[in-house]
């Protein structure tokens, strides 16, 4: 299922009276924490690992306050507002709007907790580097086995031995929290009648000057005039039009006009060589949601060329191949997935389904035993599932029933 977000998550939301609702929810830390945060150096590996594991664990337990305490809200605001002149009134509105959005249930932390609580998972994958800054990369999956979302925390030292997240980027938005807030602040300054000084240049100036076009797009979309909204996108300067967050917004508007329009716009995006993983993740989600598995495989192939490897995507590929009846390819993909990451429960379920369908009862028993050892699974409904009847009547099934009964 596609994640429900504002249709223009990283751009047009800054025209609203408050900051975008899907921005990461944070709890404002004490003032002293801001002064303890520095982006000049990376935290130690131990400190970064401790933060990453703490975030993963707190989301799993639904400990919202613990999650929020891992972020330095003052540092994010500083990154968002650096170099932008604003009146005290605008600053107050900006800070209040940002805080409101951070604490919303639809914020990234609230969404991650709700996703995991409903059967999804959050897993820390590895450390990375983004523009010279140290990051911790996580995979967020949903219970519907759609494309994963990748969350990247930008880390800095906290004191001598700690670490803190000073920004965050989600593949659903293709823009960091501070960048979304910065674009919103530029709009607030412009709406207040201030003329931005000449020193504001580059991306800041481009997005500020494009504000009215974004407003036109927003109004057209809200009125259901999708063709007008998409036409207005074509008038944006190229550096704005091809920004990944703008591309995502355009694709979501195209999807609202129908899968055919979405495919056409996606073709234009590929022709422009945007090459952002967020685009392909959305394409996978749309293909799955519209029951077009071949297109989902195509998007997975493109994603493999523009993003680091992730065994979960091989598990997803295996599930799609199974739906297409390409069973041997599905088995190979899932085996690659569990070899790279034995914790991928979804891949085991696909392998088990393939073994059951092929009446490979010994293989099914091996998989069931391995899954029972590695995961917390309630097997009580297995005996009532018609698909498992032949297996349960076999000698391997009898061994499983005996093992299951003795272990419960």
Rounded Cα distance, 148 and 103, in Å: 24
Residue 6 falls inside a structural domain? no
304 and 322, same domain (yes or no): no
Tokens representing residue 196 in the block? 């931005």
Residues 261 and 123 both lie in one domain: no
- Where is 140: in which H helix or E strand? strand 133-141
- Whole-angstrom distance, CA of residue 34 vs CA of residue 77: 10
Cα 226 from Cα 217, distance rounded (Å): 9
Residue 313 placed within a domain: no
- Is the pLDDT score of 5 beyond 50? no
State yes or no: pLDDT of 170 exceeds 50: yes
Of the residues 283, 308, 333, which one is the last residue of a structural domain?
308
- Please state whether 132 falls in left (phi above 0), alpha (psi between -120 and 50) or beta: left
Fill in the DSSP letter of residue 124: E
**pLDDT tens readout for residues 212-237:** 898 898 888 888 888 898 999 989 99
* Confidence at residue 204, expressed as pLDDT on a 0 to 100 scale: 87
Mean of the per-residue pLDDT values of the chain: 86
The answer to the question of residue 36 being in a domain is yes
Rg (CA), the chain: 24
Based on the fold, state whether residues 39 and 126 are members of the same structural domain: yes
Half-sphere exposure of 22 (CA within 13 A, CB side): 21
Residue 53 lies in a domain: yes
Per-residue pLDDT tens digits for 125-164: 999 999 899 999 999 999 887 899 999 999 999 998 899 9
Position 33 pLDDT exceeds 90: no
pLDDT band at 367 (very low <50, low <70, confident <90, very high): very high
pLDDT at 10 > cutoff 80 = no
166, 186, 209 - which closes a domain: 209
Tokens of 46: 């131990």
pTM given for the model: 0.85
CA torsion angle for 224, 230, 231, 237 (degrees, to 10)? 140
**100 pLDDT higher than 80:** yes
Q: Where would I find the beta strands (DSSP E) of 149-264? A: 149-158, 162-170, 175-176
Sheet of 133-141, strands arranged across? 121-130, 133-141, 149-158, 162-170, 175-176
- Would you state the pLDDT for residue 407? 60
Contact present, 107 and 25 (Cβ < 8 Å) = yes
Q: In this structure, is residue 69 part of a structural domain?
A: yes
Given a contact cutoff of 8 angstroms between Cβ atoms, the answer to whether 286 and 2 are in contact is: yes
**Whether residue 165 is found in the same domain as residue 283:** no
Helix residue spans in 130-194 (DSSP H): 177-191
Q: Which of 263, 290, 308 is the last residue of a domain?
A: 308
Domain assignment present for 94: yes
Question: Taking the CB of residue 225, how many other CB atoms lie within 10 A of it?
Answer: 15
Structure tokens at 361: 């009862």
Domain containing 67: what range?
12-209
* Digit-coded pLDDT (tens) for 379-400: 888 888 899 999 999 999 999 9
Residue whose token pair is 């952002």: 276
| Residue 7, in any domain of the structure | no
Q: Residue 251: pLDDT band by 50, 70, 90 thresholds? A: very high
Task: Clarify whether residues 201 and 237 are in a common domain.
Answer: no
pLDDT score recorded for residue 13: 36
How many structural domains are present in the chain? 3
Of 384, 381, 386, 390, give the one whose Cα is nearest residue 355: 390
Above 50 in pLDDT, residue 336? yes
| pLDDT tens-digit series, residues 59-88 | 999 999 999 999 999 999 999 999 888 889
Residues 285, 381 within the same domain: no
Same domain? For 247 and 194 the reply is: no
214 belongs to a structural domain: no
Cα–Cα distance for residue pair 374/392, rounded to 1 Å: 21
Q: How far apart, in whole angstroms, are the C-alpha atoms of residue 185 and residue 101?
A: 14
Same domain for 262 and 379? no
Decide which of 42 and 163 is more confident: 163
**pLDDT interval class at 406 (50, 70, 90):** low
Regarding whether 373 and 271 lie in a shared domain, the answer is no
Do residues 232 and 198 both lie within one domain? no
DSSP 16: S
360 and 253 in a common domain? no
What is the average per-residue pLDDT within 327-347? 96
Residues 61 and 197 in one domain: yes
């Amino acid at each position: 299922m596609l994640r429900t977000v504002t249709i223009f998550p990283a751009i047009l939301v800054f025209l609203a009276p408050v900051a975008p609702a899907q921005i990461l929810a944070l709890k404002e830390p004490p003032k002293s924490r801001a002064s303890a945060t520095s982006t000049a150096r990376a935290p130690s590996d131990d400190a970064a690992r401790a933060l990453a594991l703490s975030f993963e664990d707190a989301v799993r337990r639904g400990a919202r306050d613990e999650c929020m305490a891992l972020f330095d809200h003052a540092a994010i605001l500083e990154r968002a507002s650096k170099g932008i002149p604003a009146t005290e009134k605008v600053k107050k509105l900006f800070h209040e709007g940002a805080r409101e959005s951070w604490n919303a249930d639809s914020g990234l932390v609230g969404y991650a907790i709700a996703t995991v609580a409903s059967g999804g998972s959050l897993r820390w994958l590895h450390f990375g580097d983004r523009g010279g800054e140290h990051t911790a990369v996580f995979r967020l999956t949903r219970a519907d086995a759609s494309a994963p979302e990748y969350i990247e925390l930008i880390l800095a030292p906290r004191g001598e031995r700690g670490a803190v997240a000073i920004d965050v980027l989600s593949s659903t938005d293709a823009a960091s929290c501070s960048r979304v807030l910065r674009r919103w602040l530029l709009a607030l300054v412009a709406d207040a009648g201030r003329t931005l000084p000449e020193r504001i240049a580059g991306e800041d100036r481009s997005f500020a000057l494009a504000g009215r076009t974004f407003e036109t797009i927003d109004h057209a979309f809200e009125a259901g005039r999708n063709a007008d909204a998409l036409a207005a996108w074509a008038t944006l300067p190229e550096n704005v039009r091809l920004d990944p967050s703008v591309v995502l917004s355009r694709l979501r508007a195209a999807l609202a006009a129908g899968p055919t329009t979405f495919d056409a716009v996606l073709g234009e995006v590929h022709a422009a060589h945007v090459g952002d993983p967020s685009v392909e993740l959305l394409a996978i989600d749309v293909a799955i949601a519209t029951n077009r598995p071949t297109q989902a495989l195509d998007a997975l192939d493109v994603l493999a060329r523009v993003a680091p490897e992730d065994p979960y995507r091989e598990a997803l590929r295996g599930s799609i191949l199974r739906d297409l009846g390409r069973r041997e390819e599905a088995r190979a993909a899932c085996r690659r997935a569990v070899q790279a990451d034995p914790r991928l429960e979804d891949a085991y379920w696909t392998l088990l389904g393939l073994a059951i369908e092929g009446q490979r009862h010994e293989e099914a028993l091996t998989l069931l035993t391995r899954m029972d050892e590695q995961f917390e699974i309630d097997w009580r409904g297995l005996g009532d599932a018609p698909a498992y009847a032949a297996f349960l009547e076999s000698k391997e099934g009898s061994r499983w029933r005996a093992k299951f009964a003795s272990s419960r």
